[in-house]
Structure 1
Amino acid sequence: MKTLLYQKEMDLDTILRRNENEQDDIRNAVLEIIKGVKNDGNAALLYYTQALDHCKLTRLRVSETEIDEAFTLVPDELLTIMREAAENIRAFHEKQLETTWTYSPKPGVILGQHITPIERVGLYVPGGKATYPSTVLMDAIPALVAGVQSLVMVTPPDRNGQINPNILAAAKIAGVHEIYKIGGAQAIAALAYGTETIQPVNKIVGPGNIYVATAKKEVFGKVAIDMIAGPSEVLIIADETANPVYAAADLLSQAEHDEMAMPILVTTSAALGAQVVEEVYRQIEQDLSRKEIAKKSVDEYGFIFIVNDLNEAFELSNQIAPEHLELLIDNPMAALEKVKNAGAIFMGPYSPEPLGDYFAGPNHTLPTSGTAKFSSPLGVYDYLKKSSILSYDEPALAAISQKIAAFARSEGLDGHAKAVERRFEK
């Protein structure tokens, strides 16, 4: 990990840059895949699944029999845990529901908003270096709470054409309607444009690798997307009261995700920083099965910033706008108002980041790479559409008709003006 003394004039964009090489080559490959799926439909999906996932499929859709069989392979204890997590997620996201509303600012006028769910949504679930049934629950349950009528899941198969049983079990618990054995950019293209088997969706959500993220960028406009998720990151603000063992473990909880994950400690205590560095490398060797991934993340993208005080710590954190922000400080609730930019905020020593990943209820699909400056966690609101409601009776429109007409003519739009005036011509 790199230890730096924080200075306000630091070029953080350069310091924290994660190199994602061959962007042009990746985009060109993705565009070729999208073109293939648009032109050849199922045949392209089968071709790319064999070429890229090394799996020869004869059927794209997962059958109910396969789902039921997968359910029997998941330990009862894990099923119980997933059901309880699902209830926590559902209860939290039900608080986000919006309803149609109207008001009458004056006689004869009704204004408001009509709230409707997106009709058909595609959910991408990764299946590469690790499988994430938690992502199924986090992305599917808010959609169903919102009232989405068709929720379609895509996820890459293994070489035997199978989907991880935990993923299928989570999909059944959540209530996913359709599941297909496809991954990568070809899955995104199929959701956006449709094939002989897969009907196109209106929005695509869910994380994936750089090919998936690039494909989501390319189909945006044809469909909506949730966000472009980059490698994971956690930033811990810690004072001298923090436990270095906890801090190191929490940094590694993100480092083990991906070689490009970014674990950051911001602390007022240089002594604590040194303890955390020592503890991070000890825990990598003793505790982690994915130690090579975690070590590369820590070595290349791990940082410790030493600051003068907590005000500087929050200033730095707000500039970085981390996906996950942990406050390992005395009285974190009192400091909450200092947080301006963060995907999710974990308060105190007994609120570690995995609490949010799996069980508490708030969504773990969060803005990354500084996008927390302008975006929010995935939620029910991502699956809802809003239509404006306008209702004027004749006297109400007559009272303002000339104002509308004058405004329209100031823009050179006589037709707009006449559309109002015609209603009051003798």
Structure 2
Amino acid sequence: MIRRVDLRGRVAAGEVSDLQAEVNALVPRAVFDVEKALDVVRPICLDVRHRGLEAIREYGERFDHVHVEDVRVPADALKTALEELDPTVRSAFEESIRRVREVSQDELTPDIASEPAPGGRVTQRFVPVQRVGLYVPGGRAPLASSVVMNVVPAQVAGVPSLAVASPPQRPGRWGGEGVQAAFGGLPHPTVLAVCALLGIEEVYAMGGAQAIAGFAYGFDGCRKVNLITGPGNIYVVAAKRFLLGEVGIDSEAGPTEIAILADDTANAEHVAADLISQAEHDPMAASVLVTPSESLAAAVEAELPRQVAKTKHQDRVNEALDGQQSAVVLVDDLEQGTAVVDAYAAEHLEIQTADAEERAGLITNAGAIFVGGWSPVSLGDYCAGSNHVLPTAGCACHSSGLSVRSFLKAVHVINYSRDALQEVAGHVVALAHAEDLPAHGAAVSVRFPGEK
């Protein structure tokens, strides 16, 4: 069900940068060819740019198999979705929102004022992006929790204009009665309910590359945005790459992944369940266990088929666990294991070792770190207070997950007095001439006529 990779005696615990290529060759991610997908999305994006809403409707009908006359979700549909949301689910979302909001509030950065010279002041102000388009997937799973993860930090950052897009659903696709069965042509009702719960009134029934292009260029009834955030399939990722520059983006998130560093103290049943939880997302999801314990490896390998047999999405779980991107990796010791997971730079890293908290402090590359046996990734997906929109495909070595900072811009405000400028004028002039830009120097010296 899951292959073994034996690194004992093969990979030394050294510099992370030296290990990355070797580890990624031995435990490769699933093939996620964004460049190839660009050939598909480029004409879609350009068509949306030229034809706007008409093109968005046509692509929605072609790809989502739903005809949507008006992509703007009416206010009464949002209200109905919230009214019909299961009370237990509503309570869970309210708690998730509370926790994410509390963490987000603590992430707010105050302005930073510096005085590099008397009378010379530089202030770094943090200001919100003015308009953001938030994308919520709705393919294999209606990820209503992504509404929380995108909207709450944006609201805390003070973004004044937020719009949400999620794919329209075919009538009866998700079963159920009442609103569940009748919401054909609109996003999943739980997605709409959470939008309503958060006070988001601008919601669009559009998905895929055409939704990203619609936000980037704007269309009749929807102003263009400055920033697009949120996960999606390979075509959403490709569209974000194509449109980068027209708008800002959060990241190019690929298939989800989990790495677990564990020793003999870990519970094999828990480890197996955590590996399966990520495999449930996508056949290309990566589930990787790194351990120096032969007995734990064997116990997890025995536990996986037992638990998979009981889970709902067996086909995609089996495909993910069977893929080259998933493995049980044996290492010489925890020091080597730590170096391996740090080089792998997983989206989600669990550390289930006797010294989990101390070992977590040694990690520099991970989207999020889950410490100990009672902090599973599923907790972070919903109710830890952290954000689940995280860098994938090894990008955690240079990128961060979504947060309040994703929705803020830093602006330097420079305020110098006459004396402060005069004191440094000679240096400015000297540097300007060193770069053969004399007019730069003249812009300072003209303020002090008669002085050298």
TM interval, shorter chain, is: over 0.9
Shift of 1:73: 2.1
Q: Match of 2:222?
A: 198
Letter in 1 for 2:54: A
Shift of 1:112: 1.4
Question: For residues 227 and 64 of structure 1, what CA distance do their matches in structure 2 show?
Answer: 30
| 2:125 is aligned with 1:109 | no
Letter in 1 for 2:348: H
Q: Match of 2:329?
A: 305
Spell out the pairing of 1:24-423 with structure 2 (5 A cutoff): 25-159=36-170, 160-286=184-310, 288-300=311-323, 301-423=325-447
Question: For residues 5 and 16 of structure 1, what CA distance do their matches in structure 2 show?
Answer: 11
Structure-2-length-normalised TM-score: 0.92
Question: For residues 241 and 67 of structure 1, what CA distance do their matches in structure 2 show?
Answer: 48
Shift of 1:399: 1.3
Question: For residues 35 and 369 of structure 2, what CA distance do their matches in structure 1 show?
Answer: 35
Q: Match of 1:15?
A: 26
Residue pair 2:35, 2:238 contacting (<8 A) in 1 also: no
Q: Secondary structure at the match of 1:265?
A: strand
Residue pair 2:308, 2:317 contacting (<8 A) in 1 also: yes
Shift of 1:130: 0.5
Q: Secondary structure at the match of 1:131?
A: coil
- State the Cα RMSD in Å: 1.4
Residue pair 2:30, 2:285 contacting (<8 A) in 1 also: no
Question: For residues 163 and 284 of structure 1, what CA distance do their matches in structure 2 show?
Answer: 30
Letter in 1 for 2:210: Q
Shift of 1:376: 1.1
Shift of 1:162: 2.3
Shift of 1:23: 5.1
Residue pair 1:67, 1:169 contacting (<8 A) in 2 also: yes
Q: Deviations over 1:106-135 (max 9, x none)?
A: 321111112110000000000101111111
Structure 2 unaligned blocks of 5 or more: 13-18, 171-183
Q: Secondary structure at the match of 1:360?
A: coil
Q: Match of 2:6?
A: 5
**Cα distance, 1:21–1:230 mapped onto 2, change above 3 Å:** closer
Q: Secondary structure at the match of 1:397?
A: helix
Question: For residues 421 and 116 of structure 1, what CA distance do their matches in structure 2 show?
Answer: 33
Letter in 2 for 1:5: D
Residue pair 2:32, 2:234 contacting (<8 A) in 1 also: no
Residue pair 1:150, 1:177 contacting (<8 A) in 2 also: no
Question: For residues 224 and 6 of structure 2, what CA distance do their matches in structure 1 show?
Answer: 51
Q: Deviations over 1:78-127 (max 9, x none)?
A: 10110111000000011110122323333211111121100000000001
Q: Which moved more, 1:80-89 or 1:394-403?
A: 394-403
Shift of 1:25: 4.7
Aligned residues: 425
Letter in 1 for 2:48: V
Letter in 2 for 1:366: L
Question: For residues 289 and 60 of structure 1, what CA distance do their matches in structure 2 show?
Answer: 32
Question: For residues 22 and 351 of structure 1, what CA distance do their matches in structure 2 show?
Answer: 32
Residue pair 2:32, 2:254 contacting (<8 A) in 1 also: no
Q: Deviations over 1:268-297 (max 9, x none)?
A: 1111101101101110002x1011000000
Q: Deviations over 1:142-183 (max 9, x none)?
A: 000000001110000012202211111111222324100000
Shift of 1:71: 1.1
Q: Which moved more, 1:209-218 or 1:48-57?
A: 48-57
Residue pair 1:86, 1:173 contacting (<8 A) in 2 also: no
Question: For residues 80 and 374 of structure 2, what CA distance do their matches in structure 1 show?
Answer: 37
Question: For residues 255 and 231 of structure 2, what CA distance do their matches in structure 1 show?
Answer: 10
Q: Secondary structure at the match of 2:117?
A: coil
Instruction: Percent identity, please.
Output: 37
Structure-1-length-normalised TM-score: 0.97
Question: For residues 392 and 155 of structure 1, what CA distance do their matches in structure 2 show?
Answer: 48
